[in-house]
A and B are shown apart, each in its own frame.
Chain A
Amino acid sequence: GENVEQHPSTLSVQEGDSAVIKCTYSDSASNYFPWYKQELGKGPQLIIDIRSNVGEKKDQRIAVTLNKTAKHFSLHITETQPEDSAVYFCAASRDYQLIWGAGTKLIIKP
């Protein structure tokens, strides 16, 4: 079955700098790769997603890249702000069953 690995588990960056979180997946049939943000005490919320027929997608300060050959995808956050502090999860799916990474705690230092 699908397995998703996410790195790093914790990432600390200076406010204004960029943050990059990476995920790898095992099932070459996976075709949907969402990223969710989870704030303390809340459920995860979708921030951006990408499908296997696209290599890159951008939404303001957030971008996701997908390398199907290498089976990895990454989340890029530019000009980080205090409100970006949260836990970020990647996931992979080929149907309606998402397989999740273990999460990355992003800390923005003032």
Chain B
Amino acid sequence: NAGVTQTPKFRVLKTGQSMTLLCAQDMNHEYMYWYRQDPGMGLRLIHYSVGEGTTAKGEVPDGYNVSRLKKQNFLLGLESAAPSQTSVYFCASSGTGANTEAFFGQGTRLTVV
């Protein structure tokens, strides 16, 4: 029972490079989220999706794009990476309806040099 799986686990990028982070869940959840976690700041929502084919902006969406072409996958893209995007990224999913338990992946540690 995999739950939420993130790929890759670690990545180092040069400023200006692009990359895509992949999140896959096998719980048939409608809601999926991308967060970034920085020291002393908790988790901040980047983008989220309430179902296949839908996406919406969270608290800190600038510099990121997302897509949800399949219900089980949620992709986070960085078109032109900046050092300020150095962070740990977490994907999460939750069932239909508001205020249900969110299940998190293991995280992706991204460093932009």
Q: A residues within 8 Å of B by Cβ?
A: 4, 6, 9, 31-32, 34, 41-46, 49, 51, 89, 93-98, 100-103
Q: Are A100 and B99 in contact (CB under 8 A)?
A: no
Whose C-beta in chain A lies nearest to the C-beta of B56? A97
B78: min CB distance to chain A, Å: 20
Q: Are B45 and A98 in contact (CB under 8 A)?
A: yes
Q: Out of B42, B44, B101, B107, which one reaches A103, CB within 8 Å?
A: B42
Q: Are A45 and B104 in contact (CB under 8 A)?
A: yes
B76: min CB distance to chain A, Å: 15
Q: Are B42 and A46 in contact (CB under 8 A)?
A: no
Q: Are B99 and A97 in contact (CB under 8 A)?
A: no
27 residue pairs from A and B, CB less than 8 Å apart = A6-B42, A32-B98, A32-B99, A34-B101, A34-B102, A41-B106, A42-B106, A43-B92, A45-B104, A51-B99, A89-B43, A93-B99, A94-B98, A95-B98, A95-B99, A96-B48, A96-B94, A96-B97, A96-B99, A97-B58, A98-B43, A100-B43, A100-B44, A101-B42, A102-B40, A102-B41, A102-B42
